[in-house]
Structure 1
Amino acid sequence: MKLSEIKSILPNLNNVEFQLENGAFVPEHFHVTEIGFVTKHFIDCGGTIRDEKVVNFQLWNANDFDHRLKPSKLLNIVKLSEEKLGIEDANIEVEYQVDTIGKYDLDFNGTNFVLKNKQTACLASDSCGNPSTKPKIQLSELNNSCCTPKSGCC
């Protein structure tokens, strides 16, 4: 989800609720402790230099049980962040601590914002020797005479 999308969704909500992919909810007394614009400049395993930019929201499960972040308040925080930090309309990444700090993509299911699990991936599979798909081989096509029954190789 891009920053422009959350800005268009928030005015239509009564409450801001975040839900993990497993169905568990971020406690309703969470705080958005920071919004930032993060640039990652890196080199992948194939030697390609890359840049990645994300808008980062950090959620914190506070012990302030009377606190409820309203959509208008979050929208004001987003607008202030854009103004003061020069944030671009980039994808949103959410930091939230369960067992450790996790990073999530953000989606919306029509009612709640959903923290989508992120996965690592090889960005240079074509040049680093790691094929993107495993070759499919029939066992009957293998000519491996050393691994015959009773050969003791396995």
Structure 2
Amino acid sequence: MKTIREQIIQRIMSQLETITSINGYENTIGSGHVYRQEAVIKQASPPAAAVWELEEERKRNAYGGTVRILKVRVEAIVNAPVDKHPASVSNALLGDIEKALIIADTSLDSLIDDIQDIAAEIAHFPHDKSLAGAAIDFEIKYTTEWGDPYSQGYS
């Protein structure tokens, strides 16, 4: 049995693998190129994406559940085509990640109360203009039963 938090992270990772030009995105990350807690931008081996679990705030609600706000960072790196500026490709990569997690992933809706992008930045590779990278932070609100991170609660 997996905690709700673990189920959320796994669905995020699965959804990031759907980022391909065939699926209507500007960039391609694809299956087998999404990692957990790995510095893919520093490793500079595109295409790749990584999901980082940051802090999680918790408080009780009126229904006896625990409202949790998990901060997650998604980093990604892709090759920049010769005819496009890396910053432009990085901005499109931000859009791809946001679209994949907020609009395209309806399976996440069954586990969470809300998802919101809260910060974003593009990576700069001054010595390699063939790379584009980006990182975007999300706040994911979800509710579990008090003392039971394996069961969904009421929000």
Pairwise same-fold verdict (TM > 0.5): no
Greater fraction of residues in helix? 2
Q: TM-score range by the shorter chain?
A: under 0.3
Report the TM-score when normalising by structure 2. 0.25
